Structure 1
């Protein structure tokens, strides 16, 4: 699991990742008249001119992307995708995950027994900004929580899922 908040996304590194993706897009010219430089200039403007008011005082956000901005989850996802691909591709064979799934900032990975801590350290070495910090949990009693499910490993090698509620769950729901 990685602690990813939009405010933690390193904008300059995210812009590098996005520029490379756009430059590698062979169909871009069929979809827009904008150049890569035009798109990057607009994106950088949107990501670096975030202002907000607090206590009657006007502030400019200096790091990360703005909460509530429609572009923030896209930028964070593209950055995280590149970060995890780099981490997996550079991991030594004995810690490389056999299975890896991510939803926003929650990851589920299958790794060799005893290599969780080493993989976690490797993941944390990839983001040089120091703002993305991976944490990990290991299976207990042949089960592990992931999102709102608990994945249970059976003796025959199959798995089952059950609804999972954290200990802090209050059973309170919005009245819609």
Structure 2
């Protein structure tokens, strides 16, 4: 679950690298104004459960387009150096929302050490892993076979 303040900070940082102003259909607003508006959306989000209303104090509303975009930006800022290492090692790294698939030639102990390091980087993000001859990523199962890997589509129906 992304922290609201951290997500807005990541958004402002990312936007400042890309543009000086974020354009709307009618006018341009500053990045600071855009960040304040985004923070307002997050901080005034409520949900109902069993007839009671609760204020969302961490993360964002599930299914919200704003929350999905912020989560992607937040994760991108978090994963940049991890992605750079994977690229340097000529290994695969794929992420869709909170599902990550990667390849590595590291030993089991080296994988654990790397994951411990990245799990300590942000208390809101925790990585777990599976090692074996098959891997599930989204709705695809990858089978490790020599000389060519094989994929199958999993049915969730």
- 2:64 aligns with 69
Matched, 1:160 2:153: no
Matched, 1:46 2:37: no
- 2:138 aligns with 147
Q: CA deviation at 1:138?
A: 0.8
The within-5 A match list for 1:124-143 is 124-127=119-122, 130-140=123-133, 143=134
Q: Say which of 107, 117, 123 aligns to 1:122.
A: 117
- 1:104 aligns with 97
For residues 119-158 of structure 1, what are the alpha-carbon distances to aligned partners after superposition, in whole Å with 9 as ceiling and x for unaligned?
221221221xx22211101123xx32222222123322x2
Q: Is the 8 A contact 2:143 2:149 kept in 1?
A: yes
Larger relative contact order (Cα-Cα within 8 Å, sequence gap ≥ 6) = 1
Alignment CA distance shift 1:68-1:121 (3 Å): same
CA separation in 1, counterparts of 2:102 and 2:33?
38
Q: Is the 8 A contact 2:22 2:31 kept in 1?
A: no
Contiguous gaps of at least 5 residues in structure 1: 1-7, 172-176
The within-5 A match list for 1:21-60 is 21-26=14-19, 28=21, 32-60=27-55
Structure with the larger helix share: 2
Contiguous gaps of at least 5 residues in structure 2: none
Q: Is the 8 A contact 2:45 2:56 kept in 1?
A: yes
- 2:13 aligns with 20
CA separation in 2, counterparts of 1:33 and 1:45?
19
RMSD: 2.4
Q: Is the 8 A contact 1:88 1:97 kept in 2?
A: no
CA separation in 2, counterparts of 1:11 and 1:90?
28
Q: Is the 8 A contact 1:98 1:110 kept in 2?
A: yes
Q: TM-score by structure 2 length?
A: 0.82
